[in-house]
Structure 1
Amino acid sequence: MSQLLPSKRLCYLLLVLLAGGCMLNLFLQAASLGMNLFSAVLWVSAYPWLYCAGSLFLFCILIIGSVIVPNPYTGPAVVSIVFLLLGITGYEKLATTGEPLFPWDLMLVKNAAGMSKITRGMISPLVLVASVIMVAVLVFLIVKLPKIKAGFLLRMGMGGMAMALAAGFLVLVSGQSPVIAALKYQNIFWNQKVNYTQNGFLFAFAGNLRQNLLEKPEGYSREAVEAAAAKYAALPDSQATAIPAEQPNILFMMDEAFFDPTRLPGYMFSEDPLAFIHGEDNKTPSGFLLSPEFGGNTANVEFEALTGLSMYFLGDGTIPYQQRLVKMSSLPSIVSILKERGYQALALHPFDETFYNRNTVYPVLGFERFTSEKDLPDAARLTPDGYISDKAAVDEAVRELQAASGPVFLHLVTMQNHFPFTKGLNGPNTITVTGGQPEQKDELETYVQSTKLTDQALAYLQQELLKLKRPSIAVFWGDHLPALSAGIYTAAGWDQQPRLKHETKLMILANYDIGNEPLGTLSPAFLGPAVFGLSGQELPPFYKLLEQVKAELPGLSKQVLVGPGNSGVLSGLTAEQQRLLEDYRLIEYDLLEGEQYAKDLMF
């Protein structure tokens, strides 16, 4: 019986673990509020029961760590380090992209080697030094603290009770009960910033573990989908803008973190970094892409462009590639549509193939072959530590088009302009930028230099298209604005202008006549119908639905709604626009979360 009785040292350990749980919870909350301890304390005073419940959960996790490792201090130390790193990562993500940390972000841990390159310069030296000191202190304490002996039955009892309580917390967060109401917890999945601010990091993070992409629309059924499919199938096909002599090659070129920096007011450039793009603006269809993202989450822009499904309907912070598509066997897309029409479907991304699970997701969308960085060992980089250049990526894309015997759909995602914007990463800066703060000069000039190189790569692509025998069309756009220092956008006055913070450059090039009608501002979900009109393709019923939505809401995102004919930002929706969005939401739910009735009816 003596081994069942806790010793005085064990009681002290439990008290320390309880205090540790409270401190970790306070740290996580401070990190999610910009490392503001005062704001975290104010949150605790406003939501004391949420804080206590979260601290109890962490206490249980620390106990579990203590009983599964022979040394009772080692497990809690490792657990503490993990949660401290979680808080620091959340803080860095919030500071860089303006979004909190989500459970699905942790799937990128498997890409640790690539992430170290991408995030170089994001984590401050002070944080790194503090982390090393903290680990050293923990190791010292583990060695020096007095030993505690606990019998097997006591350890198993403590561990089992802690596991049950921790599991109960996760079940509680994912459901609805009087206890939840008493804690003042509400899963505000439609606005994740408010979700994390109001509920705290632990409850918001845990609540997202079982988050659906979108809620089931009222009236969802096979009959409802059939009715929608019949309605849009009956619409006449829109008149093609251009009809080439044979099926043209179609190239999508989504350029990492690319936008037009000359749009920033208050800055002057020693030369135009986008000389080719600006020179072609009135000669070919061009405009702006309304990105659903800012500073990151490239895969969501890619998701819209390839599937025609909109992030507008999905919960804040969701990443469909990682949350849903990895679990699917197939999903209709522009890739699968063109494959059925005799196209070869190829993907090209000169970086790690596993980022955003592309190696798993691309076959789901219909791609036959995926060329990634590992397949391009000799591809040119501007510097040894830089990413594969846009010019080298374009070279590889052109080689694929030249080698094909039939029409090709090729989707290219570049990396050259990715963070960090470290001086010299892409070679010497040749453009001087004046204006703004002196400490931002190198960062801005480095980014502008990268856009100049992209502009040159695009000019090269146009020349190479003209050499191809088969009609070919290339759709170029930036996925989102870069994660430049916040002060750059603040000085430009863009913090209060979400449209400008989400508009990237969009341009379509071809080796046959496609006219020069301006594109205005378009959401990526509408790129499929737009390029089908310029390539003489018949529209499937789903694209006819997209055409109807595009006519009313060419820019459709949570941040901005752009009205008909790019007339301006809307503050509300008409009855017709609401009806179209209800149809759109119905089909999107069916394809992502429902029974996929539309798969055979609308594609």
Structure 2
Amino acid sequence: MKHKLNLCKEYLASNIGMVFFCLTPLATFLMVEVLEFGGADSECMLPTSLSFWVNLMFYYGAFLLFRAVTGRTRFSIIFLNLVFLICGLINYYSIDIRNSPVVPWDLYAVTTAAQALNGFQWTIPPQVIACTAGCVIWWIITMLLKYPTPRLRTRVGSFAASAAMFTAFLLIATVGRDNFYISAWRQVTANRRNGMALNFTINMDSLFNEAPTDYSRENAATILSSVSAAQTADGTAKQPNIIAIMDETFADLSILGDLNLENIDDVMPFVHSLSNDENAVTGQLVVPAFGGGTCNTEYEFLTSNTYAFFKAGSYPMLQYIHDDTESLGSVLSEQGYNTVAMHPYYGSGWARNRAYPLMGFDQFLDIESFDEETTEILRRYVSDNSSFDKVIETYEKNKQTGNPLFLFNVTIQNHCGYDTTYDNFPETVEFQWDSLYPYTKQYLSLIQESDRAIQRLIEYFRQQEEPTIVVYFGDHMPFIENSYYNRLTMFSAKTDADITMDEHTVPFFIWANYDIPNYDAGRLSANYLGPMLLETAGAQMSEYEEYVYSLKETYPVISASGCINKHGVYVPLEMAARDLHDYKIVQYENVFDKDVKRGSASGSGSSPVIGSAAS
């Protein structure tokens, strides 16, 4: 009798353990979603939503697979619960810090992300404490319970069930992805509706690029040859030095609404004054980034490729530059320029130390090239003043070579975050409600410093005898309080599409210390700025650049957030697809089929190789 009671107790104990195991995937899924959003408005947690059941397929599949492989129930519970807790924490802080969950393309930028996180203040909200404590309690209970050792038949059955669940999960997430909320620009909302696992999987589609319909090398060559070689360089004119500056997070928030400044009239008076300079071209640049993604703007500028034809969330500079790539660096190098890239931060960010040599730059000066004793630091970054001092130093050294200089400088001063005050940076800009928006107050004060720094640089080159052109533009708008953006656009009569376009617009100018036409270029996308710079400098464009530049007359703006036609009318990208199909073909050839030889400059008799055979 006693023996039977013991068997009964063991049976009940093992069954309780298995019930606990069966509840663990559900509890883990709910823990991850509560961790990210505190459970508020998380549609994926509702049993009435499809995403609830699809996510459960993933979690149950993972636990069954791990138990089938290891044969250890207790270890499977604790290990996978810990893994998903860590994933949930990473996702939570990703949303908290940069307003975006973790997505597949972030895997290309792990190093850059780690560098950017150094200056953020870390907080531990209630849901992080509650979920972590809940997991610890779950592990303790797991250790106290007993579990039967799974037999081979059970493990095989678990493996089969896991395979079925993962197959169903992947099919629904890929083939049936239209049943879920998909938005490249509203990933937080997508994550809330779809759940972490499902949303990440849905976004995997963005990693793959398919050739356009009718693509062939012959077709691409025919399209490129259709543009007449109208550009010819003046062989007798002295080639100007070209200084290109992409200023980190330099943007004009007043395009969205009244800033209600109180102690000053303008945070960038010098940049705005250049519209009256007789040797300056000014305008507004539509960029592919918002709040981050600097490399996508510099990629458009340097290569003339539009981000609109890549899958949402791509980082072409990281993903697609693996061999020689045509860019302003290679095109100007072919014309006798010494080409230098500069960035006063870690060279590994966005893989610049790998990409720049492949883009034709002779030299890359990163933070290691700056003198620690003489370099000015604002907050925790190299100031624009010190960055521009390095530009001047490089220019002076280049004089001795007898060759013109092309220098591309990506600054760092204005990089986010803006959540910490610093003794070395007084925040001088005051505006209505500034106590409610400390991030914005710090950001606007930084922009004021950038404006002063670029004025100082322009005044230096104004005194130089060597002909020099300076092109200056921002990479994206800042990651500041969402509520401030909402306040700026609260009473706007613009459509959501127009506001989105404004949120992807930054100022730019091209200035020279010699006579160039003065005009307002209006609004154009970043893929046109490189060819416009070459035209202004009297340099030759590549065949590809000339083709791209010819499209500006029809669509001065081509971007992932939409297009603007020659009449100034917004056109959704899908509506302009037919008009832009040829561009898509030649860009695909330019990016993914680079073993095709192409002339480096239109109007030249020879056809030197810009790209090399794709490996």
| Range of TM-score over shorter length | 0.7 to 0.9
CA distance 1:413–1:7, change in 2 (3 Å): farther
Return the offset for 1:310: 0.3
Distance 1:112 1:143, change over 3 A: farther
Question: Pairwise mapping of residues 105-504 of structure 1 onto structure 2 (< 5 A)?
Answer: 105-111=106-112, 113-118=114-119, 120-121=120-121, 124-126=123-125, 130=129, 133-134=132-133, 137=136, 141=140, 145-146=144-145, 150=149, 168=167, 172=171, 176=175, 193=187, 200-209=195-204, 211-232=206-227, 234-237=228-231, 245-263=237-255, 264-271=257-264, 272-283=266-277, 284-325=280-321, 328-378=322-372, 383=377, 386-404=380-398, 405=401, 406-422=403-419, 424-425=421-422, 427-429=424-426, 431-436=428-433, 438-440=435-437, 442-493=438-489, 496=496, 497-504=499-506
Question: SS of the counterpart of 2:523?
Answer: strand
**How big is the shift at 1:355?**
1.9
Report how far residue 456 of structure 1 moved.
1.3
Q: Distance in 2 between matches of 1:468 and 1:10?
A: 84
Contact 1:267–1:434 (CA<8 Å) still a contact in 2?
Answer: yes
For 2:29 and 2:387, the matched residues in 1 are separated by: 45
Give the residue type in structure 2 aligned to 1:85. L
Aligned to 2:55: 51
CA–CA distance in structure 2, aligned partners of residues 201 and 102 of structure 1 = 9
The secondary structure found in structure 1 opposite 2:531 is helix
Equivalent-residue separation in structure 2 for 1:186 and 1:590 (angstroms):
33
Please say if 1:583 is aligned against 2:582.
yes
Letter in 1 for 2:217: R
Distance in 2 separating the partners of 1:375 and 1:68? 54
After superposition, the C-alpha distances for 1:105-158 in whole angstroms (9 at most, x for unaligned) are 13433456523225x14x544269628953983697289635768589799869
Change over 3 Å in CA distance of 1:422–1:555 after alignment to 2: same
- Deviation of 1:578 (Å): 5.4
Question: TM-score, normalized by length of structure 2?
Answer: 0.82
The farther-off stretch of 495-504 and 399-408 is 495-504
User: 1:181-228 CA deviation, whole Å, 9 max, x = no partner?
Assistant: 5x9767968787587577544233124336445432111112211211
Shift of the alpha carbon at 1:35?
Answer: 5.3
Q: Which residue identity lines up with residue 563 of structure 2 in the other structure?
A: L
Alpha-carbon offset, residue 455 of structure 1: 0.8
* Deviation per residue, 1:384-430 (Å, 9 max, x gap): 75111111111112211221212222211111111111454384435
Partner in structure 2 of residue 102 of structure 1: 103
Does the 8 Å CA contact 2:35/2:131 hold for their aligned counterparts? no
- For the 8 Å contact 1:553–1:562, the answer to whether it is kept is yes
Note if contact 1:436-1:488 (Cα within 8 Å) is conserved in structure 2. no
1:47 touches 1:184 (CA, 8 Å); kept in 2? no
Distance in 1 (alpha carbons) for counterparts of 2:415 and 2:267: 17
Aligned in 2, Cα 1:533/1:102: closer, same or farther, shift over 3 Å?
Answer: same
Task: Please tell me whether Structure 1 or Structure 2 has the larger radius of gyration of its CA atoms.
Answer: 2
1:434–1:115 distance in 2 versus 1, CA, 3 Å: closer
Alignment of 1:491-570 (within 5 A): 491-493=487-489, 496=496, 497-564=499-566, 567-570=567-570
Partners of 1:116 and 1:559 lie apart in 2 by 27
Residue equivalent to 1:3 = none
1:84 is matched with which residue: 78, 83, 88? Answer: 88
Q: Is the 1:229–1:598 contact (alpha carbons within 8 Å) kept by the matching residues of 2?
A: no
| Matched residue SS, 1:433 | coil
5+ residue gaps in structure 1?
A: 1-5
Per the TM alignment, residue 27 of structure 1 is displaced from its structure 2 partner at its CA by 5.0
**Are the counterparts in 1 of residues 565 and 571 from structure 2 also a CA contact under 8 Å?**
no
State the shift of 1:305 in Å: 0.6
Corresponding residue to 2:29 among 2, 25, 28: 25
Partner SS state of residue 500, structure 2: coil
- Take 2:15 and 2:358, find their aligned partners in 1: how far apart are those partners? 54
Q: Deviations over 1:358-404 (max 9, x none)?
A: 22222222222222223325176655751111111111122112212
CA distance in 1, matches of 2:130, 2:468: 53
> Cα 1:90–1:155, aligned 2, differ >3 Å: closer, same or farther?
farther
Larger mean CA deviation between 350-359 and 371-380 belongs to: 371-380
CA distance in 2, matches of 1:124, 1:568: 45
State how far apart, in whole Å, the 1-side matches of 2:423 and 2:474 are. 18
| Stretches of structure 2 lacking an aligned partner (at least 5 in a row) | 1-9, 602-609, 611-615
Q: Report how many residues are paired.
A: 579
Amino acid at match of 2:240: P
How far is the alpha carbon of 1:288 from its aligned partner?
1.2
Identity %: 23
Q: 1:268 to 1:332 in 2, by over 3 A?
A: same
Would the aligned equivalents of 2:556 and 2:564 in 1 still touch at CA under 8 Å? yes
The answer on whether the counterparts of 2:94 and 2:102 sit within 8 Å (CA) in structure 1 is yes
Query: Contact 1:69–1:75 (CA<8 Å) still a contact in 2?
Result: no
> AA paired with 1:293?
A
Residues 169 and 303 of structure 1: CA distance in aligned 2, closer, same or farther (over 3 Å): farther
* 1:383 and 1:426 in contact (8 A); partners too: no
Q: Contact 1:64–1:162 at 8 Å: present in 2 too?
A: no
| Equivalent position amino acid for 1:513 in 2 | D
Task: Report the alpha carbon displacement of residue 245 of structure 1 after superposing the two structures with TM.
Answer: 3.4
Distance (whole Å) between structure 1 residues aligned to residue 73 and residue 144 of structure 2: 15
CA distance 1:486–1:464, shift in 2 (3 Å): same
Question: Structure 1 residues 303, 392: closer, same or farther in 2, change over 3 A?
Answer: same
Q: 2: CA distance between counterparts of 1:144 and 1:165? A: 29
How far apart, in 1, do the equivalents of 2:467 and 2:13 lie? 79
CA distance in 1, matches of 2:358, 2:270: 36
Give the whole-Å Cα distance in 2 for the aligned partners of 1:350 and 1:579: 42
1:563-585 C-alpha deviation (Å, 9 max, x unpaired): 32xx433246899x656511110
The one-letter code matched in structure 2 to 1:410 is L
* Partner-residue secondary structure (3-state), 1:492: helix
Task: Return the TM-score normalized by structure 1.
Answer: 0.83
Aligned CA RMSD, in angstroms, stands at: 3.9
Query: Separation in 1 of the partners of 2:42 and 2:293?
Result: 30
1:332 to partner: Cα distance? 1.3
Contact kept, 8 Å, 1:335 with 1:367, in 2: the verdict is yes
Contact 1:382 1:427 in 2 (8 A): no
